[in-house]
């Protein structure tokens, strides 16, 4: 179980869960992805599982665009007046390359979360390691100057203009950084620090932008921390983060990207079928050795 207060109740995948549940997962999924692991390991949490490519799903989105951002924004807008006390915004699969765990296991990550800390912090990224995103991902103003000079348009090149549309009247930051990859927690109070109209504007932007799905999703991926009140560069000290977020207070980090084997950037972004019993090259593995 996740550390902290426990809640009981029935989770239904066929309709939105009971409003009596105060902690919830909001999950962006596709029809071929198996999300039953969440209910199996965390049955006391409510689940809002959106299936973005199935218009007949109990929970879906109006347009499958902007990757997980469309799901997250749809949930916030639709439930703004009656939000759970704490919401974890998460991807569908249990094993994902960006999970902050030696074998990229979402169950291990979620079990270790310190609920009291999440509630007090308001917004918390679910990664401590700095690999990808920190200490900086985009230089929006400098990157914008290179637009039109490269064969392919990068997210950095379009970020400044997107920022102006998402945050009208705010100064475009010189540097944006946060550990990837759009999995985070937010309390009811933190979400409501912004009016509902802000989230409607963000959703309208995702709907209307000419940016590719990947790019619009990436723009939001590197904006959530600012939406929830953090500065443009939000890269907490890794050792402190592991202690506060996961209760792992005896970890030593040689650098923010090297903390006693907690996370290693994998060779591929797709976890092998059968992982962790099957390794990267199709070999049988000694699962326990992967923690070494």
Instruction: State whether residue 72 is helix, strand or coil.
Output: helix
pLDDT at position 5: 32
Q: Which two tokens stand for residue 180?
A: 């990837």
- Sheet-wide strand order for 46-51: 46-51, 23-29, 86-91, 184-187, 123-125
- Calpha distance 174→123 (Å, rounded): 23
pLDDT at position 73: 98
- Calpha distance 15→150 (Å, rounded): 47
pLDDT at position 286: 74
Average pLDDT in the chain: 90
What is the percent of the chain with per-residue pLDDT over 90, rounded to a whole number?
84
Please name the residue that has the structure tokens 């950095």.
156
36-40, 80-84, 166-170, 286-290: least confident range: 286-290
pLDDT at position 114: 97
- Calpha distance 103→97 (Å, rounded): 8
At 6, the pLDDT band (50, 70, 90 cuts) reads very low
Is pLDDT of 35 > 60?
A: yes
Mean pLDDT of all residues in 89-99: 97
Please name the residue that has the structure tokens 């807008």.
77
10-24, 71-85, 102-116: least confident range: 10-24
Please name the residue that has the structure tokens 């291990």.
108
Distances in whole angstroms, Cα of residue 51 to Cα of each of 71, 198, 257: 9, 24, 33
Contact between 205 and 149 under an 8 Å Cβ cutoff? The reply is no
Instruction: State whether residue 105 is helix, strand or coil.
Output: strand
Is pLDDT of 151 > 90?
A: no
- Calpha distance 14→34 (Å, rounded): 15
Is pLDDT of 10 > 60?
A: no
Among 230, 276, 252, 241, residue whose Cα is nearest residue 105: 276
- Calpha distance 96→99 (Å, rounded): 6
pLDDT at position 21: 57
Residues 6+ apart with CB under 8 A from 139: 156, 174, 175
- Calpha distance 61→70 (Å, rounded): 7
Helix boundaries (H) for the chain:
36-41, 68-79, 106-112, 115-121, 140-145, 155-166, 188-191, 196-208, 213-221, 224-227, 238-246
Is pLDDT of 59 > 70?
A: yes
Domain regions of the chain by residue span: 23-250
pTM for this predicted structure: 0.90
- Calpha distance 250→28 (Å, rounded): 33
Beta-ladder partners of 274: none
What distance lies between CA 136 and its chain's CA centroid? 17
Beta-ladder partners of 114: 3
What digits encode the pLDDT tens for the residues 228-241? 999 999 999 999 99
pLDDT at position 287: 67
pLDDT at position 220: 98
Residue 147: burial class (beta carbons within 10 Å; 0-12, 13-18, 19+): middle
């Amino acid at each position: 179980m996740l550390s902290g207060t426990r809640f009981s109740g029935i989770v239904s995948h066929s309709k939105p869960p009971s409003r009596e549940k105060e902690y919830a997962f909001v999950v962006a999924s596709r029809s071929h992805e198996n999300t039953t692991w969440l209910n199996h390991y965390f049955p006391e949490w409510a689940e809002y599982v959106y299936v973005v490519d199935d218009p007949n799903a109990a929970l879906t989105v109006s347009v499958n665009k902007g990757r997980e951002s469309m799901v997250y924004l749809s949930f916030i807008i639709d439930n703004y007046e009656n939000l759970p006390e704490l919401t974890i915004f998460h991807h569908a699969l249990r094993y994902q390359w960006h999970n902050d765990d030696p074998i990229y296991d979402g169950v291990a990550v979620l079990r270790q979360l310190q609920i009291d800390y999440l509630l007090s912090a308001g917004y918390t990224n679910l990664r401590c390691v700095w690999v990808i995103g920190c200490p900086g991902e985009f230089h929006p103003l400098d990157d914008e100057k290179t637009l039109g000079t490269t064969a392919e348009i990068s997210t950095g090149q379009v970020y400044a203009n997107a920022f102006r549309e998402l945050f009208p009247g705010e100064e475009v930051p010189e540097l944006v950084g946060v550990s990837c990859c759009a999995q985070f927690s937010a309390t009811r109070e933190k979400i409501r620090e912004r009016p509902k109209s802000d989230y409607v504007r963000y959703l309208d932007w995702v709907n209307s932008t000419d940016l590719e799905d990947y790019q619009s999703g990436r723009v939001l991926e590197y904006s959530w921390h600012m939406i929830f009140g953090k500065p443009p560069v939000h890269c907490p000290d890794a050792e402190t983060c592991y202690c506060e977020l996961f209760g792992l207070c005896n970890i030593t980090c040689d650098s923010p990207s090297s903390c006693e084997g907690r996370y290693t950037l994998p060779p591929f972004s797709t976890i092998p079928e059968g992982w962790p019993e099957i390794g990267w090259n199709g070999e049988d593995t000694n699962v326990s050795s992967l923690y070494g």
